[in-house]
Structure formats: C-alpha cells, structure tokens
Amino acid sequence: MPIIDVQNLHKRYGDKVAVEDVSFTVERGEIFGILGPNGAGKTTTVECIEGLRKPDGGTVSVLGLDPRRDTAELRQRLGVQLQESELPERMKVREALDLYASFYRNPANPDELLDILGLTAKRDSAYKKLSGGQKQRLSIALSLIGNPEVAVLDELTTGLDPQARREVWDLIEHVRAGGVTIVLVTHFMEEAERLCDRLALIDSGKVAAIDTPAGLVAGVNDEQRIRFRPSRPIEDSVFAELPEVRSVERRGAQLVITGTGNVLHAVTSVLARRQIIAGELRVDQANLDDAFVALTGRKLD
C-alpha cells in the first residue's frame, strides 16, 4: 500500500486554477521528487498533502489518514519543511529544537539531530546569526524532530551556494537511509536527478510524466553528442559505418558525432585501435531539462 496516495487533486484560488489534475503515489522508503517550474502547482500540491489546504476536488491519503480530517494524527507522523518560513530571530538553535521536540509524542534526540546536521557548534547561536545553509539545516532538523515517517521538503536548497547545497543533499540521503520516506519539491533538475528514486514532472497544474530520472530522460531522447579533436586525421566513414552512430560532422578541426546506445564506447574503441588521441573530448547527453522541454514544450526555469 502506498504511503501517500493523491488522486485527481484539484485546487483553485478564486478563479485561478493552481492544480488542475494531479495523481501520484509514493511508496514507503523512497525519495519522491516533484519537479516543475515556478508556479506549476508543486507547493499547493504538497500543502494539500500536509493538510494546510483543503482540496477542491480529488482525494489525498497520507499514511492511511485524511489530512483534513485526521490532522492531529498526521501532524505527529509527517515532518514538514516549508518554503520561506523562519524562526524568531533571537531564538537559539537548541531552544528551537527543544521547543519543537516538546510538541511530539516520541521526539528525536535534539543533540543527535544537531550532530547529524552539523549544527552542534551553533547550538547556542541565535537564528539571525546563522548562514543561509545553517538556517536551512535547522529547518530540516525541525522537520525531523518528531521522528516522522514521512518528511515533505519544499525547495530545500533554494538560495544556497553550491557547497551548502551538496551538504544538504548528502544529509537527505542520510535521512532516507534512516527509513524516512521523503517527498522533495524542487525546480532544480540537478537536485532531482541526484536524489530522487522517482519523480513527477508537473507543469501548469498537471502531471506531465512520472518515472525514474533515467527513465524520464531515456523515454525522451537518448541521443548523445561526442565532440573531439583527433590527434591525427581520420576519415568520417570509419565512424559513419558504426551501427550506433547517426551522424558525423566536421567543425573546423573538431569532429562531432551523434548517436545512441553505446556510441561513446564504439567511437573510443575505434580511436584506441588506431592509436588516435581524442583532444578536447566532450560528451553531451540529454538530461531532465531536455526531458521537460520535450514533454511540455517549456523550459524548467
């Protein structure tokens, strides 16, 4: 039985439709991504899962509970990290964790959480003295303080520098290893590709596709483009006759070869046999951005 089951969710604000028709399920233990551009309806969708908003249509079930009816029970078992929610600026890190720990039946150990999140040195720092990455880690800590079975994390690395972002990603993998099911809302392709077991691409309030990151990319286009400057001249036909190769072009001193499947291996084998070195070698593969464009006709950002 799925841990989260969303069927035909519909939500509008006045006459503006935020979520047209969204359905998906999340299985226990997975990291499920909801990826889409700003304004696609991602946040509204998870707010309905969190019981913060009332759907105008469709059904939502989380841990077998109805988020609007069994709210009290849901709050105990679902951890939430909200976009743009802060703490009082003079509250200290440890105080925030202690306060939130007191809200739950079976809280996690605040000191252990601080340690896992690398905030032990900051335990007596006021919230306003924390860096963006530290605030974000504290926000994740608060979402986990109740020992939740599911954590919903909304735009968790927005505004972080690349170093802090990678730290947060490591942390999420650590949390999942501890058995927590994670729903991750993001508009970063790289984040979704790195973390998610499966993801739903959402555009204009509808699900464009649900699959693994690799599945989404492969389903769209598995063409690869290989560019290099050979160390000595080589005729195009050597490559053109390989079954994996689709086209061979010359751009000045560079060869540009496109193909599918194991094209990279086929090309490098030819080069190795002839003892030709590929200078300035670059391989471009389709990624989730391309998949999103192919599925919706729009770019992610």
Residues in the site for another protein, rule: CB under 8 A? 50, 52, 72, 75-76, 80, 82, 84-91, 95, 98-100, 102-104, 142, 146
d(CA 151, CA 181): 6
d(CA 166, CA 152): 19
Q: Hey, which residues does 153 pair with through a beta bridge?
A: 81, 184
Question: Rounded to the nearest whole angstrom, what is the least distance from the CB of residue 222 to another protein in the complex?
Answer: 41
Residue 66 or 211: which CB sits closer to another protein? 66
Question: Rounded to the nearest whole angstrom, what is the least distance from the CB of residue 76 to another protein in the complex?
Answer: 6
Question: Rounded to the nearest whole angstrom, what is the least distance from the CB of residue 271 to another protein in the complex?
Answer: 56
Question: Rounded to the nearest whole angstrom, what is the least distance from the CB of residue 18 to another protein in the complex?
Answer: 15
Residue 71 or 204: which CB sits closer to another protein? 71
d(CA 51, CA 70): 9
One-letter amino acid identity for 86?
Answer: E
Question: Rounded to the nearest whole angstrom, what is the least distance from the CB of residue 74 to another protein in the complex?
Answer: 9
Tokens of 275: 């003892």
The answer to whether the CB of 42 falls within 8 A of the CB of 36 is yes
Question: Rounded to the nearest whole angstrom, what is the least distance from the CB of residue 126 to another protein in the complex?
Answer: 8
Question: Rounded to the nearest whole angstrom, what is the least distance from the CB of residue 82 to another protein in the complex?
Answer: 6
Kindly list the distances between the CA atom of residue 18 and the CA atoms of 9, 25, 144, 161, 174, in Å, as whole numbers in the listed order: 10, 20, 28, 30, 33
Residue 101 or 217: which CB sits closer to another protein? 101
* Dihedral angle of Cα 44, 45, 49, 53, to the nearest 10 degrees: 30
d(CA 74, CA 71): 5
Residue 80 or 130: which CB sits closer to another protein? 80
Question: Rounded to the nearest whole angstrom, what is the least distance from the CB of residue 105 to another protein in the complex?
Answer: 8
Residue 142 or 156: which CB sits closer to another protein? 142
Residue 91 or 281: which CB sits closer to another protein? 91
Residue 46 or 116: which CB sits closer to another protein? 46
Residue 88 or 178: which CB sits closer to another protein? 88
